[in-house]
């Protein structure tokens, strides 16, 4: 290996003593390939096995914690105990390759396709449609909100029983947890909304509930991470200044990591702070060493990864790049970083072990992946 990449291969020990072998993480990516009953499919297992040998940790595609949180066709479920064998298969297949397996736990809120949720009724913090959507969700009652908080804890217990090494709370990408933090989707006037501080109530209550379950039920170190998106385009919407408050509160929670969701690791803030630093720099400054941060977004080459790590993030996550190049980590380790593939050939679906529904989504979504013939 070229010695300049050595820092990518240093072990990392979380606050709870769980250890991972290097600083590379597979980013959570929905693959649309589970069975309609919410169980994990063989093609999905094969896809994860192909990508879990090199990285230190795999964060799975998101799993819904309640039936009305199912956000994608072919999303696997974590909403009842009958799903534990399916979750166990997924956890084992990742861990057998040498990576830690972290289950991303999720509720889609107003972004759920109505045909996937009971009675076609989507729910959110308030009855506000997302921009460009004609589907107005129903505002959750206070007792339903409390039930969803508990459901995040119950899915965490299933993750423990299934042998996962941790959970990542999906507070990013515009889904329910973010909908409660956002002034666009949260117009409530109860304890869950009204001020920025009150909009933090739901995300922080989920963290507390998940941590309570881990404290009482996990027998081995169990990782708890939290993913967030730094900004929203809508007005009103989450600004970088809002996110720094969220991150400040999360940094005092004793979490094992925070994970920012970005399409470009090097992006600059849109609004709310002076545009003098990168988002990642603002985040690291505010966190100030209290909790490790995982960075992500358009990291393709080994040089890009080492540059990203040198900003001070604890780990770098690779998403699309690991779909295009499952052997990314091994190639850097073997000094073959110049052989890393950074495009997707239309001929390589089978060789890359990409399930059909994910493949179809990739080749029919312009601009998402650098697809070549
Ligand atoms: C196919 C696909 C599915 C994704 N699904 C999820 C998901 O389930 N949860 C999540 O937090 N992010 C999801 N993302 C976002 C990625 O985790 C990541 O943040 C994004 O792709 C940018 O990283 P990259 O440039 O390395 O791909 C998804 C991205 C892709 C490409």
Region 283-305: mean pLDDT is 98
**Residue 8: predicted pLDDT:** 98
DSSP H or E run through 103: strand 100-106
Confidence check: pLDDT of 182 > 90:
yes
- Dist. CA 27 → ligand 1 center (Å): 6
Region 7-24: mean pLDDT is 97
- Dist. CA 164 → ligand 1 center (Å): 20
Tell me which residue has its CA closest to atom 31 in ligand 1: 320
pLDDT digits over 192-201, tens only? 999 999 999 9
**Residue 334: predicted pLDDT:** 98
Q: Which residues contact 141 (CB under 8 A, 6 or more apart)?
A: none
Confidence check: pLDDT of 335 > 90:
yes
Atom of ligand 1 nearest to the CA of 322: 26
pLDDT above 90 covers a percentage of the chain that reads: 99
Region 205-233: mean pLDDT is 98
Region 67-73: mean pLDDT is 98
Q: CA–CA separation, 50 vs 352, rounded Å?
A: 8
Q: Which residues contact 223 (CB under 8 A, 6 or more apart)?
A: 14, 16, 18, 57, 100, 102, 165, 166, 167, 256, 257
Closest CA to 34 of 79, 101, 96: 79
Q: For residue 57, what pLDDT band results from cuts at 50, 70 and 90? A: very high
Confidence check: pLDDT of 275 > 90:
no
Ligand 1 pocket test, candidate residues 28, 78, 108, most atoms within 8 A of CB: 28
Region 131-138: mean pLDDT is 95
Region 6-11: mean pLDDT is 98
Q: CA–CA separation, 5 vs 348, rounded Å?
A: 28
What value does the mean pLDDT of the chain take?
A: 98
Region 268-290: mean pLDDT is 96
- Dist. CA 170 → ligand 1 center (Å): 11
Ligand 1: lining residues by beta carbon, under 6 Å: 27-30, 61-62, 104, 170, 172-173, 227, 261, 263, 296-299, 318-321
Tell me which residue has its CA closest to atom 4 in ligand 1: 29
Region 298-305: mean pLDDT is 98
Residue 77 DSSP label: B
Q: CA–CA separation, 280 vs 286, rounded Å?
A: 10
Tell me which residue has its CA closest to atom 28 in ligand 1: 29
pLDDT digits over 157-179, tens only? 999 999 999 999 999 999 999 99
- Dist. CA 194 → ligand 1 center (Å): 31
Catalytic residues, by residue number, are 175
Ligand 1 pocket test, candidate residues 27, 170, 352, most atoms within 8 A of CB: 27
**Residue 210: predicted pLDDT:** 99
**Residue 164: predicted pLDDT:** 98
Confidence check: pLDDT of 245 > 90:
yes
Tell me which residue has its CA closest to atom 3 in ligand 1: 29
Tell me which residue has its CA closest to atom 29 in ligand 1: 29
Atom of ligand 1 nearest to the CA of 368: 31
**Residue 188: predicted pLDDT:** 98
**Residue 270: predicted pLDDT:** 95
- Dist. CA 29 → ligand 1 center (Å): 5
Confidence check: pLDDT of 341 > 90:
yes
**Residue 40: predicted pLDDT:** 98
Q: Is 165 within 8 Å of 55 (Cβ atoms)?
A: no
Tell me which residue has its CA closest to atom 15 in ligand 1: 29
Q: Is 176 within 8 Å of 103 (Cβ atoms)?
A: no
């Amino acid at each position: 290996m070229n010695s300049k990449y050595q820092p990518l291969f240093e072990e990392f020990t979380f606050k709870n003593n769980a250890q991972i072998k290097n600083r590379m993480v597979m980013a959570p990516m929905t693959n649309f390939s589970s069975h309609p009953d919410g169980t994990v499919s063989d093609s999905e297992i094969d896809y994860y096995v192909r990508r879990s040998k090199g990285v230190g940790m795999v964060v799975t595609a998101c799993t819904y914690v309640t039936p009305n949180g199912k956000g994608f066709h072919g999303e696997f479920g974590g909403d009842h105990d009958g799903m534990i064998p399916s979750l166990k298969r997924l956890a084992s297949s990742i861990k057998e390759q040498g990576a830690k397996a972290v289950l991303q736990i999720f509720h889609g809120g107003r972004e759920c396709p109505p045909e996937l949720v009971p009675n076609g009724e989507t729910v959110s913090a308030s009855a506000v449609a997302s921009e460009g959507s004609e589907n107005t969700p129903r505002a959750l009652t206070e007792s339903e909100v409390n039930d969803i908080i508990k459901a995040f804890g119950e899915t965490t217990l299933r993750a423990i029983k299934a042998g996962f090494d941790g959970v990542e709370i999906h507070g990013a990408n515009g889904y329910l947890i973010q909908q409660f933090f956002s002034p666009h989707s949260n117009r409530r006037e109860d304890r869950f909304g009204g001020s920025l501080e009150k909009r933090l109530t739901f995300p922080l209550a989920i963290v507390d509930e998940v941590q309570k379950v881990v404290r009482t039920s996990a027998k081995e170190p169990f990782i708890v991470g939290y993913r967030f998106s730094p900004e929203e385009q809508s007005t009103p919407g989450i600004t970088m200044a809002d996110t720094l408050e969220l991150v400040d509160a999360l940094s005092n929670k004793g979490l094992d990591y925070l994970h920012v969701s970005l399409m470009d690791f090097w992006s600059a803030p849109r609004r709310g702070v002076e545009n003098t630093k990168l988002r990642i720099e603002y985040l690291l400054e505010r966190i100030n060493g209290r909790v490790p941060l995982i960075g992500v977004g358009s990291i393709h080459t080994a040089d890009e990864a080492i540059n990203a790590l040198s900003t001070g993030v604890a780990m770098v996550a690779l998403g699309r790049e690991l779909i295009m190049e499952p052997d990314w980590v091994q190639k850097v380790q073997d000094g073959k970083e110049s052989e890393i593939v950074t495009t997707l050939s239309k001929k390589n679906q089978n060789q890359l072990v990409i399930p059909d529904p994910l493949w179809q989504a990739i080749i029919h979504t312009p601009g998402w992946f650098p697809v070549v013939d």
